[in-house]
Structure 1
Amino acid sequence: MLKIAWSPLYSHPLPEGHRFPMEKYALLPEQLKYEGTANDSHFFEPGMLDEKWILDVHDHDYLQKLHSLSLSRKEERKTGFPLSKQLVQREINILCGSVMACEFALEHGIAMNIAGGTHHAYADHGEGFCLLNDIAVAANYLLKNKLAKRVLVVDLDVHQGNGTALLCKDEPNIFTFSMHGKSNYPMHKEKSDFDIALPDHTKDGIYLENLKITLPKLIDKFQPDFIIYQCGVDILDSDKLGKLSVSLQGIRERDEFVLGSAFEKDIPVMCCMGGGYSPQIRDIIEAHAMVYRLAQDIFF
């Protein structure tokens, strides 16, 4: 059965006019249930992850500053969020969701987190709508608990996974692959194990060609026994923060190729959603929903 992490904390309210669409976290599960892709039994509510797993990735002083709400104004502005106790709880809840989804993926082949993909968070600070890095935390959790030997991070958000790249660079058993917009945020890119930086207005053909050439080679070379897939939909041509021009059909083909590659090689995969900032919320929901439909079609 497809298991999907979701919590009411995911929809933490933000000030009116904030450009981060928190409402998608409430609307996406309702859409999946309405169309029959999922029902209540598919969803699980994560709790609060034991801090030892957070501290395996993040600095103690930084975590304490989050708990005490003592980030400086500059640090807070860099995250893009107004800091609050509920927001910090939300971020830890997301980490737990990704870790638990990894465990379900080991059992069922695939599992999802409706939030997550917080790839801009560093050890000692947050940025770009990310306070804590669920990808790095989940990958390290798998390795430390001997649940996986080699974790491949496939990050296809329009923004480079800069925090993940730096957090994982000294761990030889985590391989980070990021395909993103060359001229988009962050302006300073870290060095992933493998990066593809695409020019503005890249369309389906070039995008999918790069993916279909690269991913099989990385799987064959690194031989992962687990994949964490950051499947952001801000590559969509309508996205107001992305600069690529991929269609909804292109996103579907992207997700189908990644999930199909994992299924064919019998590699468990955990999907975390990442970004999506199209002006019309229905476009965001439709783009995100496709990976859940494909997970059901391919794995079950």
Structure 2
Amino acid sequence: MTLPIVHHVDYDAKTVADDHRFPMRKYALVAEFLRAAGHSFIEPQAASEDWLHLAHDEAYVTAILTQTLDAKAARKVGFEITPAIARRSAASVGGTCLAARLALEQGAAVNLAGGSHHAGPDGGAGFCVFNDVGVAGKLLLETKEVRRVAVIDCDVHHGDGTALIFRYDPRVFTASLHCEQNWPREKPPSDLDIGLPKGTGDAAYLSALEDLVDAALGTAPDIVFYNAGVDPHAEDRLGLLSLSDEGLRARDAYVARACRSAGIPLCGVLGGGYARDAHAVARRHTFLVEALGAAA
């Protein structure tokens, strides 16, 4: 099986400068690397307002789509809300929704964006405008395409927005493996949180990962959303953990193999990555595609 890979040119909102802490151009670089390796992409449609309302306050959605978000809320998000950012955010959510449906059909798929797990019901934060996994999970449940969902969040930061979106939904199991001393300060509980100390390296991280994945798959979900942020890497400016490239590869491979062995469809999203070298960040994001392709 050829791994379905979802990508949209709007993922790279070029209004964000290259020296911004969020390396927006990594999305274009990931696509370049994968094209050079012979991969092709499926283009998603932008998420509709109705889809976005499944996870977010209607007034907030309108403010993003019309670029009328107040300055304080925009500072919390971390971007000026331009037309390009609005297009990018809706396209990213549409990409995860499409990748999820492709995963249900073919066993696995990846969106070359997404993982915006700090966006909660009331608004965005931490470079996250709309919570793509939150919307996609709600959509699949609403349309009865699935009955149970699991979220395996391995971004270095706690998945606070995702936890809030699904906190009262017993059909969704949320699991976050993160650096405990890292942002956000307030960490609303997921169904399972494993907070690691600063400086955790490959061996201890991968041991904790096994416990997290076992618990998530033990809930018998119909689909897993996997946030494969590469910010646990030792070179990441915002991470505080100490994984190597080999550790990230092993992490992605473990999640992919575990879902494949259990016969559970897996939708991968990129998540965070903030090293100064955008090319290195993009290369690390390709590990997810390698892992899902190898497990297919």
TM-score by length of 2: 0.97
Separation of aligned partners in 2, 1:169 and 1:283: 35
Separation of aligned partners in 2, 1:53 and 1:66: 14
Matches within 5 A, 1:190-205: 190-205=188-203
Matched, 1:87 2:88: no
Read off the aligned partner of 1:104 and give its amino acid letter.
L
Contact 2:131 2:162 survives alignment (8 Å): yes
Matched, 1:12 2:8: no
TM-score by length of 1: 0.95
**Range with bigger deviation, 258-267 or 2-11:** 2-11
Tell me which residue corresponds to 1:71: 69
CA drift of 1:16 comes to 4.8
Separation of aligned partners in 2, 1:55 and 1:250: 37
Read off the aligned partner of 1:20 and give its amino acid letter.
F
3-state secondary structure, aligned to 1:294:
helix
C-alpha distance after superposition, 1:21-47 (max 9, x if no partner): 1111111111112234x2x3xx11111
Tell me which residue corresponds to 1:34: 36
Tell me which residue corresponds to 1:2: 3
3-state secondary structure, aligned to 2:32:
helix
Matches within 5 A, 1:60-209: 60-209=58-207
3-state secondary structure, aligned to 1:255:
helix
Q: Identity over aligned residues, as a percent?
A: 38
3-state secondary structure, aligned to 1:244:
coil
Separation of aligned partners in 1, 2:216 and 2:246: 24
2:226 to 205, 226, 229: 229
Q: 1:72 to 1:217 in 2, by over 3 A?
A: closer
Matched, 1:262 2:256: no
1:248 to 214, 239, 245: 245
Separation of aligned partners in 1, 2:235 and 2:166: 32
Contact 2:117 2:131 survives alignment (8 Å): yes
Q: 1:68 to 1:223 in 2, by over 3 A?
A: same
Separation of aligned partners in 1, 2:179 and 2:19: 26
**Range with bigger deviation, 21-30 or 157-166:** 21-30
Separation of aligned partners in 1, 2:275 and 2:113: 17
- Equivalent pairs counted in the alignment come to 294
Tell me which residue corresponds to 1:22: 24
Contact 2:11 2:113 survives alignment (8 Å): yes
Pairwise CA RMSD: 1.1
Contact 2:177 2:212 survives alignment (8 Å): no
CA drift of 1:213 comes to 2.6
Matched, 1:214 2:216: no
3-state secondary structure, aligned to 1:95:
helix
| Unaligned 5+ runs, structure 2 | none
Contact 2:160 2:188 survives alignment (8 Å): yes
Runs ≥4 in structure 1, deviation > 3 angstroms? none
| Unaligned 5+ runs, structure 1 | none
C-alpha distance after superposition, 1:166-224 (max 9, x if no partner): 1101111011000001111111111101000110000001100111133213322x111
Read off the aligned partner of 1:128 and give its amino acid letter.
G
Q: 1:15 to 1:34 in 2, by over 3 A?
A: closer
CA drift of 1:287 comes to 1.1
CA drift of 1:83 comes to 1.0
